[in-house]
Structure 1
């Protein structure tokens, strides 16, 4: 199994009405701001371990499990909303950084949150790295009736127990599932991740099953239409330099089949006043798992102002 070079510490922080789980590495430094890492959808904070280990120098790193993921509370809810993540992040930065700006890195959903937060609280972000946080395709107003109907239908399915996440006989089953989703993921990393991504829970009928540490309510679509104009306004309000990193595999083509393209995403990035682009080779969407060394080699000089 993968052996962490820089083991994390685990702690719990009150955030609004929730008990947030946060992993930290290193110690605070008066000469360097905290490095805050935001994981993506159906991921956990421990997923950053490979990148933390690949950093050339030690940093004070803070990585929360988002609400309803990992060991963080989700609250008595049956769906999740983007503005809550922004407020949760603000609370976490109050706790860990006070008024001082931080270096902010997000992957996928976490990258989208980082970009939006950078526009909402530009004074709190010193440098920002977006790893495959693309946003969503353009949605037309004519799609609203069907989308609201789908949202309600999914809520009903959730309450009937029809949207439960898969469970597994043991952690090796979780590891196999991770490797099926990401063929580049090595066995040692999959085994390590399985122990942080899932937990054994007893069943009423006897025995136990390993369940993913994620609330099934995260599978409910957002009822509101994604607004590109709002996102571009947030992009334009970002004051920090931004590094946008994509993988060599075209995730957008795989997901949207031409409905939303990498070229469109790059066009949107033109709204950011100070942005540079980078690419990680031999990697898919989970580029922080596939090539943590490349990711670390890109972000470290960017955070120190030495490139790219």
Structure 2
């Protein structure tokens, strides 16, 4: 009887805690993934913002440092599967970009390609002083990485663009929605959350499972972020700066990787060749059977491409 009462008490306390903070389930799952990937958490004040980031030291003290930049509506956690696949081969730094995730968002601040590239350069100088890094960027983060690599070659030795924004790719439903002023990633309810996940993932096995109340918490957060998302999307998706990464890419002289998934429904795979025209030295990798989230849908294949970039 005592054991039964204890179990009941535990469930009652858990229910109360989740009712007060349903996002606790999401944070708990992120923490589990981080630990499984061998990563630790850090914070740093850089470029006028408090940054939250995940990191892991390499097995060898002289190993290269790899910095990973997430995409629009993304966070550092998107990179955990790739970090796990890379193991201790490199020192890894995975920040939440300013304005996103657990990093600081400042009212009135601009978070476009140019501003974030400058923020990333400051982050690299602070955490890898005097040692150039390999910079990887996904989606919006790929556009940021392209601008940063072009403008700050002393800090960035090599660059990898994964499903990167910043060029005028072949028309698709996502791109047309953006140009029409809509946010195709907007999440307001269970139906739009499912639509969002279906847009970014092609491989059903890789789609995250979001049980209640975690789904409710995520919907609430995305609703609160709706205005911020629309402001950023207006700048990176339909302003005069939307094609800046592709323009700046012509100035990238470092070894580079261009990696896409053939079934990407967000940044159409035609973008790979558009970037390749501007970065002729880049190695091109086109994966099949995956969508926009290559780093989560095919972490082993992406890890192989990253190792080829870093170690060649």
SS in structure 1 of the partner of residue 284 of structure 2? strand
Q: Which of these residues, 70, 74, 77, is aligned with residue 39 of structure 1? A: 70
2:123 maps to 1:92:
yes
Listed one character per residue, the Cα deviations across residues 116-167 of structure 1 (whole Å, up to 9, x for unaligned) are: 11100112112211101041429xxxxxxxx9xx98xx9xxxxxxxx98536
Distance 1:189 1:109 in 2: 21
Q: Which structure 2 residue ranges, 5 or more long, are not aligned?
A: 1-28, 170-177
**Alpha-carbon distance change, 263 to 82 in structure 1, aligned in 2, over 3 angstroms:** closer
2:304 maps to 1:294:
no
Is the deviation greater in 18-27 or in 291-300? 18-27
Contact 2:259-2:272 within 8 A present in 1 as well? no
Contact 2:158-2:310 within 8 A present in 1 as well? yes
Is the deviation greater in 261-270 or in 6-15? 261-270
Distance 1:20 1:56 in 2: 24
- The structural deviation recorded for 1:46 is 1.0
Q: Which of these residues, 41, 47, 54, is aligned with residue 16 of structure 1? A: 47
Q: Which of these residues, 178, 184, 204, is aligned with residue 203 of structure 2? A: 184
Identify the residue that residue 238 of structure 1 maps to in structure 2. Answer: 252
Q: Which of these residues, 240, 255, 277, is aligned with residue 225 of structure 1? A: 240
Listed one character per residue, the Cα deviations across residues 57-99 of structure 1 (whole Å, up to 9, x for unaligned) are: 4321101111221101110127632221011101111111012
Question: How many residues matched?
Answer: 265
Identify the residue that residue 271 of structure 1 maps to in structure 2. Answer: 278
Q: Which structure 1 residue ranges, 5 or more long, are not aligned?
A: 139-146, 155-162, 202-208
SS in structure 2 of the partner of residue 297 of structure 1? helix
2:225 maps to 1:215:
yes
**Alpha-carbon distance change, 237 to 58 in structure 1, aligned in 2, over 3 angstroms:** same
Listed one character per residue, the Cα deviations across residues 144-194 of structure 1 (whole Å, up to 9, x for unaligned) are: xxx9xx98xx9xxxxxxxx985367xxxx99866644435253784359x9
Could you say what the CA RMSD is over the residues aligned between the two structures, in angstroms?
Answer: 3.7
Indicate the structure with greater helix content: 2
2:157 maps to 1:126:
yes
Is the deviation greater in 181-190 or in 84-93? 181-190
Q: Provide TM-score, normalisation by structure 2.
A: 0.71
Distance 2:131 2:210 in 1: 37
**Alpha-carbon distance change, 255 to 227 in structure 1, aligned in 2, over 3 angstroms:** closer
Distance 1:85 1:28 in 2: 30
Matches within 5 A, 1:275-286: 275-286=282-293
- The structural deviation recorded for 1:212 is 3.9
2:196 maps to 1:166:
no
Distance 2:56 2:195 in 1: 28
**Alpha-carbon distance change, 227 to 247 in structure 1, aligned in 2, over 3 angstroms:** closer
Distance 2:59 2:110 in 1: 35
Listed one character per residue, the Cα deviations across residues 202-243 of structure 1 (whole Å, up to 9, x for unaligned) are: xxxxxxx75249833122212732475x54552232221111
Distance 1:80 1:264 in 2: 23
Distance 2:41 2:224 in 1: 18
Identify the residue that residue 143 of structure 2 maps to in structure 1. Answer: 112
Identify the residue that residue 16 of structure 2 maps to in structure 1. Answer: none
- The structural deviation recorded for 1:273 is 4.7
- The structural deviation recorded for 1:269 is 2.4
Matches within 5 A, 1:57-72: 57-72=88-103
